[in-house]
């Protein structure tokens, strides 16, 4: 019972920190309380960065230290709200459609809504039960993310042999520390490294992900359709089953959540063009990069697509000049936050990434281009796997094509398309150049029943 209260206190601490950070950034209190995923996004991200900053300065982390840091943040927020009053930021993308309010709902619409809500509830309950009933049993969760969390929690430092010892290379010490530090935060509240109770954080990532998705989709579609697409997302098998599911202590679902939040903030700027949105957007891009290695590349893809959607399609120079200033502020915010991790990684983590060769030259890349004929079809096939994604990608493509006939492509649509294209190009490049994954893909592509033939690298 006491452990349960401690766990709830740790979860509440995340949301309270998130509310404080958003208040400091100038968000309307009423608006942020309607959107708990914003609180969770900035609360979890702030706690991870604060713990990492404390560890860099060799401050002994503890529950009292975390509370002291929060009280300092709260004091700064109160001073800012008293002496620097300004306009409050509100979401323009997440408002309920007027036709959902004015029009009467028919019996069919009600039935669709009820069925979708029941489906979503069942998925959420199932993930919750798995999180609370089973301790962590995935290899990556135990040997990589969870192992880092236990090292940091037990040593109360990042200046330890773990980060540069070759005998720990199996756990990838060079992976970003956001997820392990969030686990450490819960351990501090629990008073122990509990592999079962800490999984509730990853369950919340899943719930906040589908909550954020529904909040944005209902702005563009009728409520019944928004619920349908949310139910579709909540039943994607890859979120529910296997080693990368929401019921494991892995960075996949947290990265998906932060990526969605980053897209929402950048789309919000495309709607409002307010500089106040830029700093929060830069923070979320940092959360992506500090969660997983791929997050750094996704942050770059989001930024490039965001800049291109305005520079290419907005010919008004008067509107472009302030945007370029805002773009520099976005990139600057990200760099300032990312530099401490980059500095620590460069100076104290001497292990190379096992997947990539130590030196990648132009000649090496050219020598691997023959893999493209295998990699590209494999990636397309992976996206179309019904047992991984059911019909999510098919419905998205059909809905987008239908939208092209109804209205012109806006900046938001171009931005989303650039993200999808950038992610596909990134995956293609990684699988083509990477020594280990590239060989694995080639092995899969050239497998026939009972005979495995690996194309020479």
pLDDT at 29 over 70: yes
For residues 140 and 213, give the distance between their C-alpha atoms in angstroms, rounded to a whole number.
27
Report how many domains make up the chain. Answer: 1
Do 30 and 197 contact (CB within 8 A), yes or no? no
- Top-confidence residue, 228 or 423: 228
pLDDT at 353 over 60: no
Model pLDDT for residues 147-166, shown as the tens digit of each residue:
899 999 999 888 888 887 77
| Residue 14 resides in a domain | yes
For residues 234 and 123, give the distance between their C-alpha atoms in angstroms, rounded to a whole number.
6
pLDDT at 189 over 90: yes
Q: What 3-state DSSP class applies to 52? A: helix
Q: Residue 453 — very low, low, confident or very high, per pLDDT cuts 50/70/90?
A: very low
| Residue 116 resides in a domain | yes
Model pLDDT for residues 287-336, shown as the tens digit of each residue:
999 999 888 888 988 898 888 877 776 666 666 667 788 889 999 999 99
Q: Residue 455 — very low, low, confident or very high, per pLDDT cuts 50/70/90?
A: very low
Q: CA geometry: angle at 197 spanning 193 and 198, to 5°?
A: 65
- Top-confidence residue, 342 or 81: 342
pLDDT at 283 over 90: yes
Model pLDDT for residues 390-438, shown as the tens digit of each residue:
777 777 777 666 655 555 556 677 777 777 777 777 777 776 766 544 4
Structure confidence at residue 289 (pLDDT): 94
With b for 16 or more beta-carbon neighbours within 10 A and e for fewer, the 301-332 pattern comes to bbbebbbebbeeeeeeeeeeeebeebbeebbe
| Residue 428 resides in a domain | no
Structure confidence at residue 454 (pLDDT): 37
| Residue 124 resides in a domain | yes
pLDDT at 345 over 60: yes
The highest-confidence range among 31-40, 268-277, 400-409, by mean pLDDT, is: 31-40
pLDDT at 355 over 90: no
| Residue 64 resides in a domain | yes
| Residue 27 resides in a domain | yes
Structure confidence at residue 112 (pLDDT): 85
Q: Residue 234 — very low, low, confident or very high, per pLDDT cuts 50/70/90?
A: confident
Q: What is the DSSP string of 149-202?
A: HHHHHHHS-S-SGGGT-GGGGGG-TTS-SHHHHHHHHHHHHHTS--TTGGGHHH
pLDDT at 169 over 60: yes
Structure confidence at residue 440 (pLDDT): 46
For residues 78 and 401, give the distance between their C-alpha atoms in angstroms, rounded to a whole number.
48
Average pLDDT, integer, range 47-54: 94
Q: Domain containing 326: what range? A: 2-87+104-348
| Residue 154 resides in a domain | yes
| Residue 391 resides in a domain | no
């Amino acid at each position: 019972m006491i452990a349960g209260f401690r766990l709830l206190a740790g979860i509440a601490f995340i949301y309270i920190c998130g509310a404080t950070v958003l208040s400091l950034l100038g968000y309307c209190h009423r608006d942020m309380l309607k959107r708990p995923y914003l609180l969770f996004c900035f609360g979890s991200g702030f706690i991870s960065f604060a713990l990492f900053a404390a560890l860099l300065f060799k401050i002994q982390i503890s529950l009292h230290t975390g509370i002291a840091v929060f009280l300092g943040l709260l004091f700064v927020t109160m001073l800012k709200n008293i002496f620097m009053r300004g306009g409050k930021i509100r979401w323009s993308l997440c408002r309920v459609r007027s036709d959902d309010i004015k029009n009467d709902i028919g019996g069919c619409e009600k039935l669709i809504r009820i069925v979708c809500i029941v489906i979503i509830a069942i998925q959420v309950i199932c993930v919750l039960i798995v999180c609370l009933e089973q301790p962590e049993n995935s290899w990556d969760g135990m040997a990589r993310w969870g192992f880092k969390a236990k090292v940091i929690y037990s040593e109360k430092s990042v200046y330890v042999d773990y980060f540069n010892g070759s005998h720990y290379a199996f756990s990838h010490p060079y992976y970003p520390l956001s997820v392990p530090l969030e686990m450490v935060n819960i351990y501090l509240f629990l008073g122990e490294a509990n592999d079962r109770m800490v999984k509730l954080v990853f369950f919340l990532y899943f719930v906040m992900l589908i909550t954020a998705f529904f909040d944005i989709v209902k702005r563009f579609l009728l409520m019944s359709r928004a619920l349908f697409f949310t139910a579709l997302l909540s039943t994607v098998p890859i979120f529910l089953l296997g080693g990368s599911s929401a019921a494991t202590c892995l960075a996949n679902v947290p990265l998906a959540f932060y990526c969605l939040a980053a897209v929402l903030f950048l789309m919000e700027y495309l709607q409002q063009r307010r500089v106040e949105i830029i700093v929060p957007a830069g923070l979320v891009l940092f959360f992506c990069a500090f969660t997983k290695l791929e997050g750094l590349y996704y942050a770059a893809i989001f930024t490039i697509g965001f800049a291109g959607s305005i520079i290419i399609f907005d010919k008004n120079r008067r509107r472009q000049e302030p945007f370029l200033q805002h773009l520099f502020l976005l990139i600057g915010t990200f760099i300032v936050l990312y530099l401490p991790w980059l500095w620590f990684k460069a100076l104290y983590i001497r292990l190379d990434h096992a997947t990539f060769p130590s030196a990648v030259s132009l000649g090496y890349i050219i020598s691997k281009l023959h893999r493209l004929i295998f990699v590209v079809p494999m990636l397309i096939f992976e996206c179309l796997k019904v047992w991984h994604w059911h019909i999510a990608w098919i419905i998205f493509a059909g809905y987008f094509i239908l939208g092209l006939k109804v209205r012109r492509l806006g900046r938001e649509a171009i931005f989303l398309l650039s993200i999808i294209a950038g992610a596909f190009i990134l995956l293609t490049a990684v699988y083509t150049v990477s020594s280990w994954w590239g060989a694995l893909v080639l092995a899969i592509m050239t497998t026939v029943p009972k005979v495995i033939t690996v194309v020479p690298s």
